[in-house]
Amino acid sequence: MDLKLQGKTALITGSTAGIGKGIAEELLKEGAHVIVNGRSGKRVDQTVSDLTHLGKVYGIAADLSKPDGSQNLIKQAEEIAEIDILINNLAFFEVKAFEEVTDEEWEDYFQVNIMSAVRMSRHFLPKMIKRNNGRLLNIASEAGIKPVPSMIPYSMTKTSLISLSRGLAELTKGTKVTVNAVLPGPTWTEGVENFLKGAAQAENKDLESYTMDYFKENEPSSLIQRFATIEEVASTVAFLASEKASAINGTSQRVEGGIIRSI
């Protein structure tokens, strides 16, 4: 399917690894120009090097947990091109008991997972609406609907992103701009693999057997009973970023293998 993304410019926050990098790769394959972002200049440069064979890719190092870092990214991105597609992907998580999460850690979650998306959207969405064209996607999580007890701050921020997405979509009424949230479920990223390796070692199990048991014990409602691949999530994002998805607005698109039981 031709998604008609040739020549479109996409800005993806937090895209030097995992789902963000996978989205960049998918959009490049579809002919889009991509701006990747991360805090480390070294990692940004490496990502650009990894992806440059696929198409036109730029890299901007900026810490989006701070207003100055967000403004730096915005300024440099606009010097490259007009942004047609904004994908707010930046986020972090930690498995930690609720009572052990400090006020400072809660603030970090708020600044990184929520305010980075707010700052980017506040700048770029009005420009999209003014020219009557654009796509804004917030990468949330199934945890935003089905909170994880060991990851309550992360889950809360993803719920906030879902609400933010719907609210922003209301601002696009009658235009050709769309805003949607994407809700990946457990996805096999480098970070997840490292986490599972540590968990398996703690229980004296090998990674393969621990992973096989993971869904039976932790996600029994999953219908696919496996981790989603980065490519599966990225292809969904690419479709929503395209003209083919022009009638999809204000939604929370699930890519979570049926974990959330609903009709």
The rounded mean pLDDT for the chain is 96
Amino acid 147: pLDDT: 96
Percentage helix, strand, coil, to 5, in the chain? 50, 15, 35
Q: Which two tokens stand for residue 241?
A: 């970023």
pLDDT, mean of residues 218-225: 94
Note the pTM of the prediction, 2 decimals: 0.95
Query: Which residue's structure tokens are 């014990």?
Result: 217
154 among known catalytic residues: yes
Read off the tokens for 179. Answer: 């805003």
Say yes or no to pLDDT of 209 above 90.
no
**Alpha-carbon distance 52 to 163, whole Å?**
35
**Res 235 pLDDT > 90:** yes
The per-residue pLDDT for 195 is: 82
For residue 120, give the nearest of 69, 53, 160 by alpha carbon. 69
Contact, 182 vs 139, CB < 8 A? yes
Instruction: Report the percentage of the chain scoring pLDDT > 90.
Output: 89
Query: Which of the residues 58, 109, 154, 214 is marked catalytic?
Result: 154
For residue 40, name the pLDDT band (cuts at 50, 70, 90). Answer: very high
